[in-house]
Structure 1
Amino acid sequence: TVIVESGSLMHDLLRSRGMGGSLALVPSEPEALRLLASGEFDCAVAPLLTGKMEIKRQGLEKIEPAGASIASVDLCFAVAKGREELLGDLDAGLEIVARTGAREVIYDRWFGALEPRGSTMGEVIRIGLWVVGPMVGLLGVALVWTRSLRRQVRARTGQLGAELAERKSAEAALRESERRFTQLAESISDVFWFAAWNPPEIKYVSPSFERIWGLPRSALYADPLIWQRSIHPDDRERVASKFRSFVLDTGKSLYEAEFRVIHTDGSVRWVSDRGAAIEVREGVVRQIAGIASDITRRKEDEARQSLMMQELDHRVKNNLAAVLSIAETTMAGSPTPSEFGEAFRGRILALARSHVALAESRWRGASLRGLIAQTIMPYQDDSGSAVELVGEEIEVTPGAAAAVSMTLNELCTNAVKHGALSRAENGARTKGRVRVEWRKYRAEEEMCWSSGDGDGERADNRSEGEMVEIIWSESGAPRNGAPWNGEPIREGMGTRLMKGLVGHELRGEIRFEFALEGMRCLVRFPQNRAG
């Protein structure tokens, strides 16, 4: 149902269009709008302009103009018949209104209220000043603050850049320092270690730990006290006590200890360990750093030097006694002073040669080949065939060197006087030969020979170690008219001296075999004989 003012132009228009049956007629347009606002009807038809004015006047907020115009109506001014002059006055008035600006006042009064209110330029300016002014002020403040902030940011950025560059430089220097430290710690033969204490923890240990202790570094990291358990039992408690005293007594600046370590392969290493506290808090040592050095060779040298001094003292006394004994023995067996001088000189030189050989080896021992060569090689002929040396490299102890050298000297002296190295009656060099062989073998039984065919000196002791055997063989000795049939004519002083040297000094035995082709001497003694 459509509400419409009865008898209005809208009523006539709708009725002419055949809608008279669905119309609700009211006496006035305002009444039509009030009924529509009450919700009793769906819609109302009214002129748009006057309808908007009435809606605003009555405050009918629930009504909104909808749809398009349903009729196109031309509006004009009308006057009563016979009053046409009023139209001319109305046109003149409208022109004045348009020219003076009063049109806006009339429009605003009757029509402007129906449209959204616009703002005048003054109002715009006032509003702009009221709103934009503070905003401009705030913008100015913000601009100033922003510029200040930018300056501060630039300054701080520069400062941070400098700090960052300095930090990067410090980090690079630290990395380089760490690289150098690692390179040094992992290339030296000593063990560098760094540890925390209370509770114990190994922070770092260099690779040399594995060489000295024979344990992997991972084992030490897992068990920080495993290094103490590898110490020799005779040294362990002493070292542990010294270490505990160091970490508990902060007045001690250094920890030092020398001890033996049992390597995993069973060998024993001497270690010099030195440490220092690098952090002490609340009177307790917290961190320690130190260096452990392998001093095995130094300890061996010290022991050898001590032994050498003892040996030297012993040798000097023995050598003095030996010189006196040689002098007495040589004098007793020498019919003339010249023979005494020659024999005594040769024996003292043999003793001296043994000392030279021992000095060259720092009294560790002497080369058997060297002792033999020094004694007999001066008698080698120009062809190099008079003397032949055959044997492996064997070292004899300092105690045995002098006795071996003097025994060889006696054999050589006898060969020069009576044997293969002697000269014919006319003084010519003979074709005699001397062959010296030596070897090392292992003996498990009593050291002796059967004395059925030869003349020998037997030792009473047994040997169960390495033995040294020297075989002196002569051939081509000149007869010089002597009625010699292969048996010794007599036992001279040299023979008695050799038997004493081998039997008593070397704890060995010597045997002589005499044949028509030449004399043969066999000497056997323990290699480890100390004299």
Structure 2
Amino acid sequence: MAGGSWPVGGGEVGAMLRAWSGAETPLGPPPQWPERLKSTLQLVLASPTPMVMFWGESGLLLYNDAYAVIAGAKHPAILGCNLLDAWPEVTDLHDEVMRTVFAGGSPLSYRDLPLVLHRNGVAEDVWLNVDYSPIFGDSGVALGVLAVVTETTALVGAQRERDAAEQALRRREQQLAQVQKIGKVGGLEVDLRDGFRNRRSPEYLLIHGLPPEAEHESHEDWVRRIHPQERSMVESHFRETVLGTARDYQIEYRIVRPSDGAVRWISALAQIERDESGRALRLIGAHLDITERKEAEAQQRLLMQELAHRVKNTLAMIQAIASQTLRGATSLEAANETFSARLAALSRAHDLLVAGQRANAPMAGIAESVVGLQGDAQRFTIGGPDLVVGPRPALALTLVLHELATNAVKYGALSNQTGRVALSWRVDEIEGVSHFRLRWQESGGPPVVAPSRRGFGSRLIERTFPSQGARSESAFLSTGLVFTLDAPLDALKDGDGENDPG
């Protein structure tokens, strides 16, 4: 007979149970069920927490409205059914529960238990927190199992999304760190909401010569690392930028690296995030070590200055050659021939300088370039120690040797078929000062006669080494010309002065 007064309340499930006639389960009408079953089920029906009872050995399913939501489309068909018939897709789990909790009298608990349920007609991944407890009778024998069930599917899904997002973030951070390492870019973040709270990337720490524990160094630590000559300017610029309205921050400055005391150039680029009122919230930036670039720029400036100086000297040298050539020429044709030859010698000297290191030239190269273009190289004996000559002396020596060789071809040892020239140089110590000594000696040529005026070479030597203690001498012996040059060695290495050769 339907329409009993028990259970009291219990929502939809309670109403269904009150409407049962007794034929729905082997237990008969609900009001006649065992008192322990009724008292326990009354508590279950009144609870807002999802609860289900497995009663007896077959695990008769009795639950509340909250559990009905978890059961999905299986409710209400499974109310009063045997456990294994109601949930065949999780038979192994329920066999374990009945063995351990019902037969063994021991509780079981699971957290975020992954299951595949067919509660809505299709396989569905579900996660549950379940606590199983035995329901004991007065004799201490288990009469059933009470399960408190909480579905955590949404929480697990959200956690998985968070985990996936965190993993993706970690991968991006690792990729960013790798990119920073490859590009040697140091990343930094500064929280500007309340003072300066810093976070530095590993590459930043490497660039600045800092240990790993300096990841959160203070603002004052950064300021102390700035080069003393720029410290005030750099910090003032930083504070003014933060307190202003700009969103971009850029500066180049020097630091003294703590790890080795080296002075390094830093290029800082950053963006400042601001709120609607313009107040600075956060700075995200990158630091680059631009020391090599700065050194290259300085070297380029030096080279440009040296180029300008070299052009100036060359033009002055050409002016002097032209002036001296025209003063000593007997005709326009002779002047043209002599001037062209001297310019060719000057050009060859420049070729040597370009080929040399730091615009210097080897003495052996100067000698061979001049001699090799004046006749048969077999008629020359060349010898001397390895010696590198500075740019300005190299030009002068090239022109002097060219002048000597030209005169030898016209009037001296190279004007016949048997004459020879010996060119040698050495370095002597005179009163603690190293002196360069060059000797040009002709032999086997026709008798030579001293010229009536001083030659081009003598005047060039005087103009190239003014006030340097250099002197030259030409001896017109019966056996041939002997030309000697004596100059402090430093004058040949550093003789690239600003003195006008004309």
Match in the other structure for 1:199: 195
**Bigger Rg over Cα:** 1
Deviation at residue 274 of structure 1 after TM alignment? 1.6
Please state if 1:270 is matched with 2:265: yes
1:132 aligns with 2:33: yes
Partner of 2:458: 496
| Deviations 1:437-479, CA, capped at 9 Å, x for gaps | 579x9x998x7xxxxxxxxxxxxxxxxxxx8x5432345x224
Separation in 1 of the partners of 2:337 and 2:383?
Answer: 26
Query: Cα–Cα, structure 1 residues 282 and 259, in superposed 2: closer, same or farther, change >3 Å?
Result: same
Cα deviation for residue 256 of structure 1 reads 1.2
Structure 2 counterpart SS, 1:492: coil
Letter aligned with residue 485 of structure 2: C
Identify the structure with the greater strand proportion. Answer: 2
Aligned residues, how many? Answer: 370
Secondary structure of 2:266's match?
strand
1:120-519 alignment runs, 5 A limit? 130-132=31-33, 142-143=62-63, 146=67, 148-151=69-72, 154=117, 156-157=126-127, 159=154, 162-197=157-192, 198-207=194-203, 209-211=205-207, 213-214=208-209, 216=211, 218=213, 221-249=216-244, 251-263=245-257, 268-278=263-273, 283-306=278-301, 308-309=303-304, 312-313=307-308, 315-356=310-351, 365-369=359-363, 374-378=369-373, 386-388=381-383, 390-392=385-387, 394=388, 396=390, 401-418=391-408, 423-425=413-415, 427-428=416-417, 430-436=419-425, 470-475=436-441, 477-482=442-447, 492-504=454-466, 507=468, 509-512=470-473, 514=475, 518-519=482-483
| Residue deviations 1:167-188 (CA, integer Å, cap 9, x gap) | 4433332222122122222333
Pairing 1:101-112 to 2, within 5 Å after superposition? none
Q: Give the deviation of 1:480 after TM superposition.
A: 2.3
Unaligned runs of 5+ in 1: 1-125, 448-466
The question of whether the paired residues in 1 share the 8 Å contact of 2:252 and 2:268 is answered with yes
- Checking the alignment, whether the CA contact within 8 Å between 2:251 and 2:269 is kept in structure 1 is yes
Q: Provide the aligned C-alpha RMSD in A.
A: 4.6
Q: Which amino acid aligns with 1:131?
A: Q
Secondary structure at 1:330 match in 2: helix
In structure 2, relative to structure 1, the CA distance for the partners of 1:410 and 1:341 (3 Å cut) is farther
Cα-to-partner distance string for 1:186-205 (whole Å, 9 max, x where unaligned): 33334333333443333114
Q: Report if aligned partners of 2:408, 2:414 keep a CA contact under 8 Å in 1.
A: no
The Cα of 1:230 is off from its aligned counterpart by 3.4
Mapped to 2, the partners of 1:327 and 1:289 lie a distance apart of 65
Helix, strand or coil: the match of 1:225? Answer: helix
Q: Please give the alpha-carbon distance, in whole angstroms, between the structure 2 residues aligned to 1:501 and 1:277.
A: 62
In structure 2, relative to structure 1, the CA distance for the partners of 1:414 and 1:150 (3 Å cut) is same
Deviation string 1:188-230 (CA, Å, 9 cap, x unpaired) is 334333333443333114446545x555464574444333333
1:142 is displaced (CA, Å) by 2.2
**Runs of at least 5 residues in structure 2 that lack an aligned partner in the other structure:** 1-26, 43-52, 54-59, 74-114, 118-123, 128-152
- Greater alpha carbon shift after TM alignment, 507-516 vs 255-264: 507-516
Whether the 8 Å CA contact 1:419–1:478 is kept in 2: the answer is: no
